[in-house]
Amino acid sequence: MEIQKLYDIDDIEFEDITIALVRLVKNIPNHEFFFKVNQINELKFSRIIDLIIHGAYYDYYFPRFEAYHKYTKTCFTFISNKSSDSKQKKLQTELFSEEKNIKFLLNNQADVQYILHSSEQFPDFSVILLPENLVFPIQDYTLSSDEELYQIIQYYE
């Protein structure tokens, strides 16, 4: 019996996804930030398994926090833009290696503390109240399918 080809990779159209960039006014620990977020929201964010990126010399760990909206059944995920931990896999022998022990998911946005992602195709991040005195206004950011972060979010979704 012959196996049918269900889809052709070349025929699949990838859609852009919208994320939100969250910048904090001052550096505070994750647990303190989410304690304050959980106080003012019906959504209760909790820590889930870290997002892991495997580099040539290091494995990078990015904290993730997730909550579900009761009525819309939408999942919201905060991902730390900066790795919280890295485990060295092998010794660097190259003098000018670009891989460091700290990694950012968005290299061009190092001032961003969290990336907010939603399971909705057209997310509404305004349902999440953020402490006004701790957070600058969030900024929408569009990821195209050819960006590494897009692929990572799709993998972990």
Task: Give the tens place of pLDDT for each residue, 5-15.
Answer: 444 444 444 57
The radius of gyration of the chain's CA atoms, rounded to the nearest angstrom, is: 18
Residue pair 112/21 in contact by the 8 Å Cβ criterion: yes
Residue range 66-95: average pLDDT? 87
Cα(150)–Cα(108) distance, integer angstroms: 15
Q: In this model, does residue 48 exceed pLDDT 90?
A: yes
Query: Six-digit token pair at 114?
Result: 């969290």
| Residue 90 amino acid letter | K
Residue 25 confidence class, pLDDT cut points 50, 70, 90: very high
Residue range 37-51: average pLDDT? 93
Query: Six-digit token pair at 43?
Result: 């959504």
Residue 137 counted as domain residue: yes
**pLDDT (0 to 100) of residue 138:** 92
Residue 116 confidence class, pLDDT cut points 50, 70, 90: very high
Residue 69 confidence class, pLDDT cut points 50, 70, 90: confident
Residue 63 counted as domain residue: yes
Q: In this model, does residue 49 exceed pLDDT 50?
A: yes
**The pTM is what?**
0.82
Residue 143 confidence class, pLDDT cut points 50, 70, 90: confident
**pLDDT (0 to 100) of residue 24:** 95
Structural domains in the chain (count): 1
**pLDDT (0 to 100) of residue 14:** 57
Residue 6 counted as domain residue: no
**pLDDT (0 to 100) of residue 96:** 67
Residue 12 counted as domain residue: no
Residue 8 counted as domain residue: no
Q: Which residues, at least 6 apart from 7, have a Cβ–Cβ distance to it below 8 Å?
A: none
Residue 136 counted as domain residue: yes
Residue 10 counted as domain residue: no
Residue 135 counted as domain residue: yes
- What is the DSSP annotation of the chain? -PPPP---GGGPPPPPEEEEEE-BSS---HHHHHHHHHHH-SS--EEEEEEEEE-SSEEEEEEEEEEE-TTT--EEEEEESB-SEEEE-S----TT-S--S--BSSGGGTT--EEEEESSSS--GGGS---TTTBPPPEEEEE-TTSHHHHHHHHH-
Domain that holds residue 98: 17-155
